[in-house]
């Protein structure tokens, strides 16, 4: 029951935060654009991911020993109706997982996700170079679950070697970086992003072994986009 209340509370907090981002913050971003701005492109990068377990598993200290390096990439769409504020939506592939050390050696677990993040996009600066902040919820689905050398370890006494219980994932992500717009070569966006999942990969109820099994990731991404409106005019 306590675990259910915790999940409900996290979900409610995420919804409230998303509503705040999409409803309140745009009112602070003035002036409006006379003509809407649309950008579409592709992006990719490198991800360092782990899973926060409670109780902990294996030897996951320091945190660098618990991380699995992977990649991410996908499509990005951005819309802006204000000079400093808009929203950004992506459809991504994400490779995440975790690692642990034991007397038998190092164990790496790889999880492959399709995810859909929706961000409030804030930016400040000139038309050619801007600092930006992305913040919003994300959902995902695990399409592949594998262990060392692509072979999943089943039947081990430790529960984190079993197939994950929950393939559906949801959480929150935040990123910041720089946005460069060229006159003829499109838009380049360099971003560092952190995302944390509220949905655990294993059950976390009072009858389950884990109290927490939440993935989290740090990534560095580079995006290339085309802008459909090149010269916005302000009121």
Higher pLDDT, 12 or 13: 13
What would the pLDDT profile of 21-73 be if each residue is shown by its tens digit?
554 555 554 455 556 788 999 999 999 999 988 887 766 665 666 788 999 99
| pTM as predicted | 0.78
What pLDDT is stored for residue 210 in this prediction? 86
**For residue 6, what pLDDT is reported?**
54
Q: What is the model's pLDDT at position 80?
A: 82
Nearest of 219, 186, 198 to residue 12 by alpha carbon: 198
Q: Which helix (H) or strand (E) holds 204?
A: none
User: Does position 229 have pLDDT exceeding 80, yes or no?
Assistant: no
Mean pLDDT confidence for 136-151: 80
Closest CA to 171 of 57, 52, 69: 52
* Calpha distance 66→97 (Å, rounded): 9
Q: Which residue has the higher pLDDT, 9 or 159?
A: 159
Q: Which residues in 103-231 belong to E strands, given as ranges?
A: 105-125, 129-146, 168-181, 187-197, 212-227
pLDDT at 111 over 80: yes
Whole-number Cα distances in Å, 163 to 58, 105, 159, 197, 228: 17, 20, 9, 18, 44
pLDDT at position 219 is 96
What is the Cα–Cα distance from 112 to 114, expressed in whole angstroms? 7
CA dist., res. 88 & res. 38, Å (int): 10
The mean per-residue pLDDT over the stretch 174-195 comes to 92
For residues 117-144, give the mean pLDDT. Answer: 90
151 has pLDDT over 50: no
Question: Could you tell me the domains of the chain?
Answer: 2-227 (2.40.160.20)
CA dist., res. 95 & res. 150, Å (int): 13
> What integer best gives the mean pLDDT of the chain?
80
Tokens of 166: 């929950």
Residue 150 scores a pLDDT above 90 = no
Between residues 121 and 30, the one the model is more confident about: 121
pLDDT-derived band at 8 (thresholds 50, 70, 90) equals very low
Specify burial of residue 104 (Cβ count, 10 A radius: 0-12, 13-18, 19+): exposed
pLDDT of res. 34: 53
């Amino acid at each position: 029951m306590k675990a259910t209340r915790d999940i409900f509370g996290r979900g409610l907090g995420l919804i409230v935060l998303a509503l705040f981002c999409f409803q309140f913050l745009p009112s602070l971003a003035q002036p409006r654009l006379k003509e809407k701005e649309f950008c579409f492109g592709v992006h990719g990068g490198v991800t360092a991911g782990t899973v926060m377990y409670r109780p902990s598993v294996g030897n996951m200290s320091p945190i660098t020993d618990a991380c699995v390096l992977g990649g991410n990439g996908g499509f990005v769409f951005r819309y802006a109706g204000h000079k400093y504020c808009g929203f950004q939506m992506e459809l991504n592939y994400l490779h995440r997982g975790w690692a642990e050390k034991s007397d038998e050696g190092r164990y790496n677990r790889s999880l492959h996700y399709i995810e859909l993040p929706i961000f409030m996009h804030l930016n400040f600066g000139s038309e050619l170079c801007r600092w930006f902040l992305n913040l919003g919820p994300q959902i995902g689905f695990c399409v592949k679950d594998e262990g060392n050398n692509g072979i999943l370890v089943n039947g081990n006494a430790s529960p984190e070697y079993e197939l994950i219980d929950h393939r559906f994932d949801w959480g929150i992500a935040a990123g910041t970086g720089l946005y460069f717009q060229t006159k003829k070569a499109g838009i380049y966006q360099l971003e560092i992003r952190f995302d944390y999942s509220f949905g655990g990969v294993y059950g976390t109820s009072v009858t389950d072994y884990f109290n927490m099994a939440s993935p989290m990731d740090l990534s560095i991404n580079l995006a290339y986009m085309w802008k459909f409106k090149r010269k916005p005019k302000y009121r």
